[in-house]
Structures are given as C-alpha cells and as structure tokens.
Amino acid sequence: MTVKVLGISASPRAGGNSDLLLHQALAGAESANAQVEYLRLCDFNIAPCIECNSCFKTGRCQIEDDYQLLMKKMLDTDRLIFATPIFFMTVCAQAKILIDRCQCLWAHKYVLKKPLIETKSRDRRAMVIAVGGTKSKKMFDSIRLTMKYYLDVLDMKYAANLFVNKMEEPGQIEKHPNALKEAFRLGAELVTTENPLPEKPIDIELT
C-alpha cells in the first residue's frame, strides 16, 4: 500500500529556509515511493482558537473555516512533515494557530474518550523541521515540547527532528548542502518501516 505523506509549511515566506527544507524532505519521501502532498498554511483561512470549550461536549470546533479541511488531511495521512521558522524561540504564528485549533482533537480524545483514528494499528509517524537565526543552544527546546504534545493529539509517533540555526537570510539554506541532504534522507527514512521506531525522536541539529 502506498504511504501518504503530508508536508505542512508554516512559513509566512514562500521559498523560505524551512519551506525549502520541507520540499527536500518531501522529495526524499517521494523517492521512497510515497504519495506526497505539500500545503502552505498562508494559503488557508484559519482563525485562532477562541477557547469557547464547545469542543468539550461535541469533539468538534465550532469555528467554520479551512481548519476542517486541514484536520481531515492531518488525520488521513500516514506521515506528516511539519516545517516552521522560529520566531521568539518558538513556532511561528501560522503554526501556532493550527496547533491551537487542535484543541478540539484533544477534547475528542481525552475529554470525550473517543478514538480519533479508526484503526489504532495504523503506523503514523511525523518529522519536524525548524529553522532559526540566533546562536542560542536553547532555541529548539520549545519546538520539541510543543510538537511532542501536538503529535500526541494527532496519534502520531514523533520520529525525527531536523533543526538548523544561524539562518537569517531568505534562501540561505541553499548554501548548506548538508542540511538539504539530511532533509532528503530523513524524508525517505520516514516512509520506510524496515527499521524500528526509536524510543526518542532522531535529533539532527546543524549550524
């Protein structure tokens, strides 16, 4: 069966560094015979969570916008590659809005105790790409924690990270062949199930 891979680019800048790495990761997944889909959050209308808590009773978000389409794609896919630039030491606003809207999935799963995925045995895995511009060694700490809980809500196994820092200029990542190579490699490896899933996500940090 063909593995479906969804790539979500949270970058507000088309062709930004995290966006370019995502394309490389999807190319790697495609080289492993996966069916890939790329989407950019800026192309969708997603309102922020209003904390009405109606999802605690229904398991659904009452705000009607493009989130419903994105939610279906996230739940239908076998693999997810999520790419974000780092703003103020965390995910960018576009990423956080999508993640916060997944509160309805948290309610569905943990308040209403209903399964999100019909077949619990499905092998669903995710990879995270993040690019920042500072020298701080703590830059990726918030990313790891936020994505851990986001992926838990999606019933996805957190398989790998690719983090690159000291990237300020648009397209600068193209002068970092090792980062592009790692994105391609990790994208391809995300598709395969030959190797057992590690207990902790594979962590690649580059400068």
Domain boundaries, the chain: 4-206
**What's the pLDDT score for residue 69?**
96
Residue in the structure block whose two tokens are 């990879």: 127
Q: Which two tokens stand for residue 161?
A: 């990270």
Query: Do 131 and 82 form a contact (C-beta atoms < 8 A)?
Result: no
Distance between CA atoms of residues 68 and 88, nearest Å: 28
Provide the residue-wise pLDDT of the chain in tens; the chain has 207 residues: 789 999 999 999 988 999 999 999 999 999 999 999 999 999 999 999 999 999 999 999 999 999 999 999 999 999 999 999 999 989 999 999 999 999 999 999 999 999 888 766 788 999 999 999 887 778 899 999 999 999 999 999 999 999 999 888 888 888 888 999 999 999 999 998 776 777 889 999 998
**What's the pLDDT score for residue 96?**
97
Cα three-residue angle 38-39-43, rounded to 5 degrees: 155
Distance between CA atoms of residues 19 and 4, nearest Å: 19
For domain 4-206, the CATH class is alpha beta
